[in-house]
Chain A
């Protein structure tokens, strides 16, 4: 069983809809959580970084962490065709210096 599970999709939504993405994890030692966006054949780009349970908002993006359920989410409001990409969750433990565990990524397609 992988430490971090993420549905690979593809997830297809119409323009303007809310995109809902999530990851589950098995190790309660994970304390820091990140979401990256990756366009095809490009390097990942950091979108959100959180380190506690609760919500964090940045523009159209909201990251949610529920440590009790070992579940994290990313919501994209008012989705645009330019949001079409693969979204990767990543997380790290306090006892594992700088070593991230990544989910496999969810492909999102926003149709005009």
Chain B
């Protein structure tokens, strides 16, 4: 089955630790995105990538880092510099760069203890 997978579904982190969230897609989509969702605030864009080995900051990139070494993979690292990392993280992709119709993965719930 084609789709977007995110792992793990739930993740717990101690303060001061970095943690990496996985996003994989087998849809052969060019562009991939990371969003953060907090209650009452909708989705906010963290980083996005149009092609392999290239990515751009979104609206709230501080405290996060990404890589795009393979077309199908776009991992997100939440660093200790992110002051309020507890949130629901969503990965999305689009078939071609510039397309608006984004398809989302199931999400990862990150909780900082």
Contact check, B101 vs A8: say whether CB atoms are below 8 A apart: no
Q: List 8 A-B contacts (CB under 8 A).
A: A4-B42, A34-B100, A43-B92, A90-B43, A98-B33, A98-B94, A98-B100, A104-B42
Interface positions of A (Cβ within 8 A of B): 4, 6, 8, 32, 34, 36, 41-46, 49, 88, 90, 92, 97-100, 102-105
With an 8 A cutoff between CB atoms, is B106 at the interface?
A: yes
With an 8 A cutoff between CB atoms, is B102 at the interface?
A: yes
Q: What residues of chain A lie closer than 8 Å to B2, measured between beta carbons? A: none
Instruction: Identify which of residues 8-47 in chain B touch chain A, using a CB-to-CB cut-off of 8 Å.
Output: 31, 33, 40-45
Report the minimal beta-carbon distance from A4 to chain B, rounded to whole angstroms: 8
Q: Is the interface of B mostly helix, strand, loop or mixed?
A: strand
Contact check, B100 vs A104: say whether CB atoms are below 8 A apart: no
Q: What residues of chain A lie closer than 8 Å to B100, measured between beta carbons? A: 32, 34, 49, 92, 98, 100
A98 with B99, Cβ < 8 A, contacts A42-B106, A43-B106, A43-B107 known? yes
User: How many B residues have CB within 8 A of the partner chain?
Assistant: 29
A8 to B90, CA, bound (A): 20
Q: What residues of chain B lie closer than 8 Å to A36, measured between beta carbons? A: 104
Smallest Cβ-Cβ distance to A103: which chain B residue: B42
Q: What residues of chain A lie closer than 8 Å to B43, measured between beta carbons? A: 44, 88, 90, 100, 102
A17 to B106, CA, bound (A): 29
Q: What residues of chain A lie closer than 8 Å to B94, measured between beta carbons? A: 98
Contact check, B101 vs A46: say whether CB atoms are below 8 A apart: yes
With an 8 A cutoff between CB atoms, is B81 at the interface?
A: no
Contact check, B101 vs A41: say whether CB atoms are below 8 A apart: no
A97 with B101, Cβ < 8 A, contacts A41-B107, A105-B42 known? no
5 new A-B contacts, CB < 8 A, other than A97-B97, A100-B102, are A36-B104, A43-B6, A43-B104, A90-B43, A97-B98
